[in-house]
Amino acid sequence: MSDVCVIPDRIIIAVTGEDATTFLQGLVTNGPPTQGGCLSALLTPQGKILFEFTLIKSDDGYVLAAHSDASEALIKRLKLYRLRAKVGIEASPKLKLLSDNRIAEAEFNAELNSSYHERRIHAGVPQWGSDFGSNEVFPMDVNFDLLNGIDYKKGCFVGQEVASRMKRKGDARKRTLIAKFDGEAPEKGAAVTAGDSTLGTIMSGVDGAALALIRLDRWSAARDDGREILAGIRPITLTTPTYMDSE
């Protein structure tokens, strides 16, 4: 099966002009790339994710492949930061994103014959719009750093001080894990519990698997005590994505 497919719910935003590189350099968490593409994001000054996107080098600048629901707000935010920079910013709806490098980073098993969303959930890859929204999570909460979405050595970008401080502090408090179960996915937002302890919440899911935002210390304590883990009233098993195991 081919690893290339049209990624749904994506809009392409072109960023062009003689100042495009320096403009993006001071804004985004990763890149801009000199060739190819990379996962990147625009953060709030407080370090939470506003928008995530694939940032790709083009002949006349760059394109951002972002969730279509974010397009209007993302373009507005980019133009807010533009000031006097010689940069053009506009949507290019005729272009399509054909692959998602995050799934490649996750070393996903390509033998699973499934849709894009099934593939990314089984790979443990959260997505803006499906699993979280603007100003809801820090990058580490959704494994953005492990998926190579942040370059801590690139210099200043919006939210960089907070992101770097969290990196220096070491272990993340929360991570996105894979919840496995029989049958249909629990409702999005369902509490993940172990006895009286709330471990986190269910994010998006498909039959047999869902993503879950989990407090790692509480999950560790539940495992040590041998407590059953539930999503609502349904038993689940939590596992780490393959890319997290290598960290």
Residues of the chain with pLDDT under 70: 1-8, 93-114, 246-247
β-partners of residue 211 are 178
- Domain termination residue (choose one: 123, 144, 169): 169
C-alpha separations of 138 from 42, 113, 142, 161, 172 in Å: 11, 32, 7, 13, 10
Whether residues 46 and 81 share a domain: the answer is: yes
Whether residues 80 and 146 share a domain: the answer is: yes
Whether residues 77 and 122 share a domain: the answer is: yes
Query: Is 160 a member of any domain?
Result: yes
Q: What is the pLDDT of residue 8?
A: 67
Whether residues 42 and 127 share a domain: the answer is: yes
**Rounded distance between C-alpha atoms, residue 90 and residue 103, angstroms:** 27
Whether residues 178 and 150 share a domain: the answer is: no
Whether residues 24 and 71 share a domain: the answer is: yes
* Helices assigned H by DSSP within the chain: 20-25, 71-82, 101-105, 116-123, 160-169, 216-225, 242-245
Whether residues 81 and 188 share a domain: the answer is: no
Whether residues 125 and 178 share a domain: the answer is: no
The CATH number covering residue 41 comes to 3.30.1360.120
Whether residues 131 and 156 share a domain: the answer is: yes
Whether residues 213 and 236 share a domain: the answer is: yes
Query: Is 106 a member of any domain?
Result: no
The CATH number covering residue 184 comes to 2.40.30
Model confidence, pTM: 0.88
Q: What is the pLDDT of residue 9?
A: 79
Its domain, for residue 130, covers 10-98+112-169
**Per-residue pLDDT reduced to its tens digit, 126-168:** 999 999 999 999 999 999 999 999 999 998 999 999 999 988 8
**Per-residue pLDDT reduced to its tens digit, 28-37:** 999 999 999 9
Query: Is 2 a member of any domain?
Result: no
Q: What is the pLDDT of residue 114?
A: 55
